[in-house]
Amino acid sequence: MAKLAKYLLIAGSVTFLGAVAWWYAFYQQFLGDKVKMASDCFYFSRDYCVLADAAALVSRVPVYSPVAFWSAVGLLAAGILVLAAAPSGR
């Protein structure tokens, strides 16, 4: 069971890092150095996030979706729960 927890935690971490890279690559092309203005778009789709999505028609990077972030959160939470539920190896 600890092995499953390890795989879930690794998958969650990789998914989180991928979400950060995807979010940055997508919004940086429109906002440049002010990419931090789109920080809310990392985990939630607000009105101004949708405006950037419309501009994505000319983008080389696919439209970022907060589903990537929430998938990472789910995988990490599942890994933590499985790890907590695993019997100790003593």
The pLDDT of residue 81 is: 97
Does pLDDT of 90 surpass 70? no
Residue 47 inside a domain? The answer is yes
Phi-psi region of 42 (alpha: psi -120 to 50; beta: other; left: phi over 0): alpha
Residue 74 inside a domain? The answer is yes
Residue 56 inside a domain? The answer is yes
Residue 53 inside a domain? The answer is yes
What tens digit of pLDDT does each residue of 20-66 get?
A: 999 999 999 888 999 998 899 999 988 878 777 777 777 888 889 99
Residue 66 inside a domain? The answer is yes
Residue 33 inside a domain? The answer is yes
Containing structural domain, residue 48 = 2-85
Q: pLDDT category, 84, cuts 50, 70, 90?
A: very high
Total domains in the chain come to: 1
Instruction: Retrieve residue 73's tokens.
Output: 């959160």
